[in-house]
Chains A and B, each alone.
Chain A
Amino acid sequence: MKKDLITVNQNGLYCESGDFYIDPWRSVNRALVTHGHSDHARYGSSKYLCADRSLHIMQSRLGRGAHIQTVVYGKTMTINGVEVTFYPAGHVLGSAQILVSYKGERWVVSGDYNVSPNRSCDPFEPVKCDVFITESTFGLPIYNWKPEEEISAEINAWWRINAFENRACILYGYSLGKAQRLISLLDPTIGKIITHPGVEALNNAYRLTGVDLPLTIPLNEIKDKKGFEGAIIIAPPGAEGSSLEKRAGESETAFASGWMQVRGNRRRLNSDRGFVLSDHSDWKGLISAIQQTGASRVLVTHGFVNTFVRWLNENGFNAAPLETMYSGDAGDDDTAGTGEEQG
């Protein structure tokens, strides 16, 4: 039997022929990184390779001292005779699916991906391959995303009502990706957009990369309660219930995540509102992505792994689980992992 081009060992996804890792969870010599979330981009490896659109984010995550090499989307590089190409994954800015080709065999490691449009990053691009490694964070048919314009309208309507009543809005979203996407969906004519420091650091990385975000005001520049009236504050979920809510005076809070699709999660939330906005593919998105790869084999990582594998196998695909240390949507919450403090 032919050996797999990519296998999992104690350090992460490993390509033996090219002697490199993809999104390793331990320190290794050479790490190819799909995107900046802490469960995929971990501190401590000697050399990193990422998409060039990810550079400023990686620097902010891994520290300026990290040895980071970049490559543009679609350009093929050779590492020890193995070809690697990065393609946009539509998850966060600079996120990539990595195509690994060797002796005519093509494997794609997709990291986290989202096939629905996201105006703050490059759109997902399907890549033909033999073996497709997919996440399954929202791999159940109850997860169906509405177009982001609809969510944008919901959020702005909520903000407008509160602004009208001079209340502040506090909108929680993961600091990398979700926060910038939320900011790009806001209507800046309603009021001020204020950002938590963890979010602002990544806004800068987005702006340096050329993404046009509306004007944001760092939280520490607001000196009194009056400054929060009618404004929206974008903060990571880790800041929830902290002094922020006290500081902002009369306010309403909301949380934006794919998990908000389920009412039980909305109710359990400490926030007043839940907006259904995800940077991962929904059920149909996962299936269409897999179909478009034409892969003869699908390996399923973090999420509803067993359910999704069973569904794939019952519906004409050839799928198996692949045990990794990625943590799905929770991995997007950097307040829990290697956070801004290192950048």
Chain B
Amino acid sequence: MKDFALLFRSLEETTSTNRKISALISFYESAPREEISYAVLYLTGNKPRRIVSSALMRSWAAEEAGIAEWLFEECYQVVGDLSETLSLIIPDSGKSGLFKMGEIVGKVFPLLAAADEATKKEIVKDIWRNMSVNERFLFNKMIGGSFRVGVSSQIVITSLSRYSGLPESVIAQRLMGKITPSADFIDVLLAEETTRDISRPYPFALAYPLGNEPEELGEPGEWQAEWKWDGIRAQLVKREGKVFLWSRGMELINDSFPDIISAAAELPEGTVLDGELLVMLDGKVLPFNSLQQRIGKKSPGKKLISANPVYLMAYDIPEYDTADIRDLPISERRIKLNQVISGFKGDDNRILLSPVLDFNSWSELREIRRGSREMGVEGLMLKRKSSPYFDGRKRGDWWKWKVDPLTVDCVLLYAQPGHGRRAGLFTDYTFAVWDNGKLVPFAKAYSGLTDKEINEVDRFVKANTIEKFGPVRSVTPMLVFELAFEGLQLSTRHKSGIAVRFPRISRWRRDLDIKDADDLQKLKEYLKAISPGDADAGS
């Protein structure tokens, strides 16, 4: 655990991709293989589940350190991260390197999960006393369920490939599917030849956002256009009579979507489909939050399923008739995909074919794209007809041409300190729009400003605080920002009556005074324009 804790620290401390890769490589060179397997597991998007609530950890740590709760709170405010605060206040015994990841995850975690509160406390405290600050930090992140690290799977793949000399695509494919951490896993992962795992999906082919106009892509005839669905990207694998549904986050999601799994029984042997999971009713795609109700729910009940039926909108087929056909052009793969989907019988087919849109010129396609919001999609996908199903992202072959985000000018009303990287700086903002002469808060946003701007806003917040409510400060309404978002819907939980989706700060409107900020009316108009159905729900 010592090596992993040090690796975790070095990864956290650099923003440079190259440094992250070299930190990983030197970790592979020095750490035992079993430790490496845990690092691979946790750095590729798998998160340990929370076994101890943060409230309990807080009180045990304060007790262990012999400090009052109020002092703990003061420390937390300065550090900005709970696991880190816990690890810092516990007196350091100078011990480290006493635990292996395998012991912690394989023995301690199950023990903790089964223990009553008093026993849990004894176990956790005993471990704290026998760990270094770095190890404690990692341990706390894991048992508190807040393990996160600024490393993409791609960085892990690249570092493993450089370390082992195997091509990235081989590593990527071997990493898809379930990882069972052990020294053997690393041996198999890095071995020249490996036995094939029937559940394994292919690395997802990804698209770049189209920065310019489509005219720059050349002849429209060389391109295939589809809707860009707003759901969950997934691969449906059928091999040796078994079905596996994988999300892009490499999670096996069979349990959440039994309706898709049973529909897939009809798929021919040796098929892998790539597509988007969507909730649809009467042929109409429902907003993302209906899908959200299904995502986290393992073994959903009949009621939930019939209220939110899920469909797979398939648009590619990397494997057909047990053969890997990723190198065929998409135009040919599309023919196979048609064959497979048209083979379905019955009237409620849960596996649908994402249509190819007909167009002769870019201006015609631009016209089609205008209908995106009404269709409940995010825009269009443009795929070069000759493109293979490539591994990861490849510039030039697949593009997403999203509709412009909705924007609104709003006023900064509350701020609170961020956690993690920006601990201690005011980075979490609540914005308001006008409603009958009053500013009503309607959205929170964290991202979109540069570091320099964040520092400036931080100073502004400190100098213009009106009131403090815990960590939250209300500030004099003075700053105006343009907020962009992907969609919005009615909400009873929000004061404004509207909830926006994926809000982010698109720019700081230094040129605007707060009286120039937008009115709630603008949001309501957006709402009307997007979902005309909501206005006359009865029909």
Asked if B85 is an interface residue, CB under 8 A from chain A, the answer is yes
- 1/0 per residue, CB under 8 A from B, across A253-272: the answer is 00000000111111110001
Chain A hits for B421, CB < 8 A: 264, 267-268
Do A262 and B79 touch (CB < 8 A)? yes
Chain B hits for A144, CB < 8 A: 88, 91-92
Taken together as a complex, chains A and B put the C-alpha atoms of A142 and B137 apart, in Å, by: 13
Chain A hits for B74, CB < 8 A: 140, 304, 307
Among candidates B67, B80, B137, residue contacting A141 with C-beta atoms closer than 8 Å? B67
Do B75 and A141 touch (CB < 8 A)? yes
Do A262 and B89 touch (CB < 8 A)? no
Asked if B183 is an interface residue, CB under 8 A from chain A, the answer is no
- 1/0 per residue, CB under 8 A from B, across A144-174: the answer is 1010000000000000000000000000000
Q: Looking at the assembled complex, report how far the CB atom of A8 sits from the nearest CB atom of chain B, in whole angstroms.
A: 25
With both beta carbons as reference points, the residue of chain A lying nearest to B13 in the complex is identified as: A266
Chain B hits for A314, CB < 8 A: 68
The dominant DSSP class at the B interface is helix
Interface size, B (range): 20 to 34
Asked if A311 is an interface residue, CB under 8 A from chain B, the answer is yes
Asked if A274 is an interface residue, CB under 8 A from chain B, the answer is yes
Asked if B420 is an interface residue, CB under 8 A from chain A, the answer is yes
Among candidates A140, A272, A311, residue contacting B78 with C-beta atoms closer than 8 Å? A140
**Given contact pairs A264-B422, A268-B425, A142 touches B92 in the complex (Cβ within 8 A):** no
With both beta carbons as reference points, the residue of chain A lying nearest to B133 in the complex is identified as: A144
Asked if B168 is an interface residue, CB under 8 A from chain A, the answer is no
Chain B hits for A146, CB < 8 A: 92
Asked if A273 is an interface residue, CB under 8 A from chain B, the answer is yes
Which residues 151-191 of B sit at the A interface, judged by CB distance below 8 A?
none
Which residues 294-343 of A sit at the B interface, judged by CB distance below 8 A?
304, 307, 310-311, 314
Asked if B84 is an interface residue, CB under 8 A from chain A, the answer is yes
Asked if B498 is an interface residue, CB under 8 A from chain A, the answer is no
Asked if B464 is an interface residue, CB under 8 A from chain A, the answer is no
Q: Looking at the assembled complex, report how far the CB atom of B299 sits from the nearest CB atom of chain A, in whole angstroms.
A: 39
Asked if B368 is an interface residue, CB under 8 A from chain A, the answer is no
Taken together as a complex, chains A and B put the C-alpha atoms of A268 and B356 apart, in Å, by: 47
Do A311 and B81 touch (CB < 8 A)? no
- 1/0 per residue, CB under 8 A from A, across B59-92: the answer is 0000001011011001100111100110011011
Taken together as a complex, chains A and B put the C-alpha atoms of A142 and B78 apart, in Å, by: 9
Interface size, A (range): 20 to 34
Chain A hits for B445, CB < 8 A: none
**Given contact pairs A264-B80, A267-B421, A311-B71, A142 touches B85 in the complex (Cβ within 8 A):** yes
Q: Looking at the assembled complex, report how far the CB atom of A289 sits from the nearest CB atom of chain B, in whole angstroms.
A: 18
Q: Looking at the assembled complex, report how far the CB atom of A316 sits from the nearest CB atom of chain B, in whole angstroms.
A: 14
Do B80 and A273 touch (CB < 8 A)? no
Asked if B424 is an interface residue, CB under 8 A from chain A, the answer is yes
Asked if B230 is an interface residue, CB under 8 A from chain A, the answer is no
Do A142 and B13 touch (CB < 8 A)? no
Among candidates B75, B79, B137, residue contacting A264 with C-beta atoms closer than 8 Å? B79
Asked if B491 is an interface residue, CB under 8 A from chain A, the answer is no
Do B84 and A263 touch (CB < 8 A)? yes
Taken together as a complex, chains A and B put the C-alpha atoms of A92 and B390 apart, in Å, by: 61
Do B420 and A264 touch (CB < 8 A)? yes
Chain B hits for A142, CB < 8 A: 75, 78-79, 85, 88-89
Taken together as a complex, chains A and B put the C-alpha atoms of A168 and B109 apart, in Å, by: 44
Chain A hits for B78, CB < 8 A: 140, 142, 262
Taken together as a complex, chains A and B put the C-alpha atoms of A266 and B12 apart, in Å, by: 9
Chain B hits for A272, CB < 8 A: 13-14, 16, 19
Asked if B423 is an interface residue, CB under 8 A from chain A, the answer is yes
With both beta carbons as reference points, the residue of chain B lying nearest to A143 in the complex is identified as: B88
Taken together as a complex, chains A and B put the C-alpha atoms of A142 and B91 apart, in Å, by: 9
Chain B hits for A141, CB < 8 A: 65, 67, 71, 75, 88-89
- 1/0 per residue, CB under 8 A from A, across B113-140: the answer is 0000000000000000000000001000
Which residues 98-114 of A sit at the B interface, judged by CB distance below 8 A?
none
Do A264 and B81 touch (CB < 8 A)? yes
Do B425 and A262 touch (CB < 8 A)? no
Which residues 229-256 of A sit at the B interface, judged by CB distance below 8 A?
none
Chain A hits for B81, CB < 8 A: 263-264
Chain B hits for A262, CB < 8 A: 78-80, 84, 88, 423-424
Q: Looking at the assembled complex, report how far the CB atom of A3 sits from the nearest CB atom of chain B, in whole angstroms.
A: 34
- 1/0 per residue, CB under 8 A from A, across B84-106: the answer is 11001101100000000000000
Do B88 and A274 touch (CB < 8 A)? no
Taken together as a complex, chains A and B put the C-alpha atoms of A272 and B89 apart, in Å, by: 25
Taken together as a complex, chains A and B put the C-alpha atoms of A307 and B12 apart, in Å, by: 29
Binding site for A on B (CB under 8 A): 12-14, 16, 19, 65, 67-68, 70-71, 74-75, 78-81, 84-85, 88-89, 91-92, 137, 420-425
Q: List 14 A-B contacts (CB under 8 A).
A: A141-B67, A141-B89, A144-B91, A261-B88, A262-B80, A262-B424, A264-B80, A264-B420, A267-B420, A267-B421, A268-B421, A268-B425, A272-B14, A272-B16
